[in-house]
Amino acid sequence: MNNKRDYLLLVLTISLFFISCNHSRKDKFSIIGRWKLDTIYQTGKYSDTFQRMITAMLIGGDKNRYRYSFRKDSLLNRLSPKDSTTDKYYIKDSTIFIQSGWVNVRVFDPQQLRYLNENEISLQGKDSVVFILKRE
């Protein structure tokens, strides 16, 4: 009888250990905070020259001046040398939906969200442009 009880306690202890480890890993990472643009590139079938040209057009050559601030209230502040915007966002699974568009027509654009490590994320939209953001 003791063997069955010991076996059951061992299985229960191991199960609780793995459940707590998986739960704590999910809770550790949060997108909330300030981020800066580190890298931007185009994936897909384009040549390297074309990719560099797209990057230069998108950021004007100064990626270090682009900042993103994800707030707890589901607002995203985007700061660039030319302007700043505040839009809503939400995350579902591995997709972040960021509100964009004109004043009267606002839509949520999906972007694939990847956690590269605790201080880096990547966002990739339908246009295959990838933004690598680093935590400030």
Q: Given the structure tokens 């994320």, which residue do they identify? A: 121
**Could you read off the pLDDT of 99-130 as tens digits, one per residue?**
987 767 778 999 999 999 989 999 998 878 88
Give the angle 30-40-81 at the CA atoms, nearest 5°.
85
Rg (CA), the chain: 21
What CATH number corresponds to the domain at position 102? 2.40.128.270
pTM: 0.67
Sequence-distant (6+) residues with CB within 8 A of 91 are 31, 97, 113
Nearest by Cα to 55 from 38, 69, 35, 36: 38
Q: Are residues 15 and 71 in the same domain?
A: no
pLDDT tens digits for 2-59? 666 666 665 556 655 656 554 444 456 789 999 998 888 777 666 555 656 666 666 5
Let me know whether 63 and 109 are in one domain: yes
Tell whether 46 and 113 lie within a shared domain. yes
Query: How many domains, the chain?
Result: 2
DSSP state of 115: E
Got the DSSP string for 58-102? HHTT-GGG-EEEE-TTSEEEEE-SS-EEEEEEEEETTEEEEEEE-
| Structural domain boundaries enclosing 60 | 31-135
Instruction: Clarify whether residues 84 and 112 are in a common domain.
Output: yes
